[in-house]
Amino acid sequence: QPQLQESGPGLVKPSETLSLTCTVSGGSIRAETYNWGWIRQPPGKGLEWIASVHYSGSTYDNPFLRSRVTISVDTSRNQFSLKLSSVTAADTAVYYCARSYIGPWAPGEWGPGTLVTVSS
């Protein structure tokens, strides 16, 4: 089982871009049979899927966030990343990275999550 670990700034100013990286260890991000993705959870609230990507470059994203989201894969570093632009306080959340078998999204491996606070 691979391990996933999120990293990035814990504090982002309003209107700036949130950037997070998920490092995969114990497995290759180039695996054909997996998609990788980001999910977030505002404090005390439920889960929201943000976007998913296959190492080949295929992406799926939440249409409600699409204009602000970029998801990408860096196979040389065995990482994938999330950029969310023009953040507001509503983007404050724990951000999780996760891995799912290709096909219907059902991630069995998750990172521990990282809290990102949007505040000036």
Partner 1 sequence: EIVMTQSPATLSVSPGERATLSCRASQSVSSNLVWYQQKRGQAPRLLMYGASTRATGTPARFSGSGSGTDFTLTISSLQSEDFAVYYCQQSNNWSPITFGQGTRLEIK
62 touches partner 1 by CB under 8 A: yes
In the chain the first and final C-alpha atoms are separated, in Å, by: 39
Among 43, 63, 67, 76, interactor with partner 1 by CB under 8 A: 63
Provide the minimum distance between the beta carbon of 58 and partner 1 in the complex, in angstroms, as a whole number: 11
Q: Strand 18-25 vs strand 79-84: parallel, antiparallel, or unpaired?
A: antiparallel
Q: Strand 114-118 vs strand 11-12: parallel, antiparallel, or unpaired?
A: parallel
Backbone angles phi, psi at 110, to 5 degrees: -130, 150
Query: Which one, 15 or 117, has the nearer CB to partner 1?
Result: 117
Give the three-state DSSP class for 111.
Answer: coil
User: Which among 12-20, 58-66, 73-81, 85-93 is the span making contact with partner 1, rule CB under 8 A?
Assistant: 58-66
What residues make contact with partner 1 under the rule CB under 8 A?
A: 39, 46-49, 52, 60-64, 96, 98, 104-108, 110-113
